[in-house]
Chains A and B, each alone.
Chain A
Amino acid sequence: MNWAALVFFILGVFFALTGHLGLLKAPDVFTRLQTSSTCSTTSVLSILIACMLLSGISPFTGKVAAITIFFIITNPVATHIIARYAWEEGIVPWRRQK
């Protein structure tokens, strides 16, 4: 059980690292939204799964599962809201210079 939790912790740290790299280095609002949203969802999910594996069957696991279900519903919705706001503001998506 501990080794599975270790693997999930390392996965979470790796996904968070790539997400923050994309947040710092990407050229546009939409590309930043893509990298940060997908990587933050997967990294937080991995870390919560690792905590659930470590605590076994207990009330702690139930609370963490409730937080996981709520988070996996609301984070893509919030990303979609931000993307729609940026599109309605008239921000032109970034293209590679030819």
Chain B
Amino acid sequence: MEFSLPLIIDWTIAFLLGSCIVGIIRIIIGPSTADRLTALNLVGSQVIALLVVTAFRAGSPVYLDVAMVYSVFGFLGVLAITRYLSNRSKSK
């Protein structure tokens, strides 16, 4: 049984886009800030996988640099947001 590889890569990209939409729903309806941060972390990791699969499909390694920078700034963003919010709640 044969399978076509570009079709599977296309379906993976479509699935990752749909799962990003699910994460954005949790960001919108999340009751607390920690819920929104959790969903933001999840969407960031899915976008890294999406960028790597897109780089393989397009055949250009430029997307890999974008994925590297995106992962670094996603981690720093979570760190900065939690540090800022915990300082604000302590000074109250």
Contacts and interface: CB of A to CB of B under 8 A. Distances in A.
B86 A78 contact: no
Interface string A59-83: 1100110110011001101110110
Interface string B11-50: 0100110010011011000001111011101100110110
Nearest to A90: B89
A2 B8 CA distance: 11
Given A13-B15, A70-B68, A71-B71, A78 B32 contact: no
The CB with the most chain A CB atoms within 10 A, among B3, B49, B82, is that of B49
A71 B45 contact: yes
Given A20-B23, A71-B71, A74-B71, A36 B78 contact: no
B10 to A, nearest CB: 11
Prevailing SS type, chain B contact patch: helix
Contact of A81 (B9, B48, B56, B79): B79
Interface of B: 3, 5, 8-9, 12, 15-16, 19, 22-23, 25-26, 32-35, 37-39, 41-42, 45-46, 48-49, 52-53, 55-56, 61, 64-65, 67-68, 71-72, 74-75, 78-79, 82, 85-86, 89
A82 to B, nearest CB: 5
A44 B53 contact: no
Range class of the A interface residue count? 35 or more
13 contacts: A17-B19, A20-B19, A36-B38, A36-B42, A40-B41, A47-B49, A51-B53, A54-B56, A63-B65, A74-B75, A88-B86, A89-B34, A91-B34
